[in-house]
A and B are shown apart, each in its own frame.
Chain A
């Protein structure tokens, strides 16, 4: 099926290392979102991209977090100098139009563990 895919499914890293998480949205979807799910914090919005507009970065917790979306399709979330509190499941979603009730389709997530 042509759902949202994410890679890797699991990532274990050492504190202080950089990590890159990848998201492949559903083909044709113009909007792409990153969220993270962690114990104690629930599901938090991180960043979203809509077409060629400047991304909404209001949910990024620190300047160690950044994201890119190349060619309006694939997105990469980068976490620099990882900390133990970055351990969480990082979820990507895409939708065909963010301005309506259009469903956000979620990927299976990447489970990040920072030792």
Chain B
């Protein structure tokens, strides 16, 4: 069945780059997403990438997709303390609207 895996924790220093990795199993995935969840807040979409793209850049965020290896990454440049949150990777297969989420990566940014 579909599965999405992420590492659970990442700690970086303010100003460094953060890279959060994700792997998925569904070869029919059409869209892949990164959501952010801050303490006490709801899930917020950060960015998404269509499966025929390799890369997408949006200000400090860079998403890389290796479809052959089913590997997705999110790079946050110049990480700030306000970036501390849980980051969820999710995939959407073809012919469905449902999202399959990873376990979430807690990003800790130290000043």
Contacts and interface: CB of A to CB of B under 8 A. Distances in A.
Interface of A: 31, 33, 35, 42-45, 48, 50, 56, 58-59, 91, 93, 95, 98-101, 103-109
Of listed A33, A50, A101, residue having the most chain B CB within 10 A = A101
A104 B31 contact: no
B88 to A, nearest CB: 6
Contact of A56 (B92, B98, B101): B98
B21 to A, nearest CB: 16
B97 A43 contact: no
A50 B102 contact: no
A43 B45 contact: no
A95 B104 contact: no
B59 interface: no
A43 B88 contact: yes
Interface residues of B, number: 21
A50 B43 CA distance: 21
Nearest to A47: B98
Contacts of A31: 97
Contacts of B104: 42-43
A56 B99 contact: no
Given A101-B48, A104-B45, A107-B42, A43 B96 contact: no
Contacts of A56: 96-98
A48 B101 contact: no
Interface of B: 30-31, 41-45, 48, 50, 88, 90, 92, 96-104
A95 B48 contact: no
Of listed B41, B45, B102, B104, residue having the most chain A CB within 10 A = B45
11 contacts: A44-B101, A48-B98, A91-B43, A93-B43, A100-B31, A101-B30, A101-B48, A101-B50, A104-B45, A105-B45, A107-B42
Contacts of B44: 106
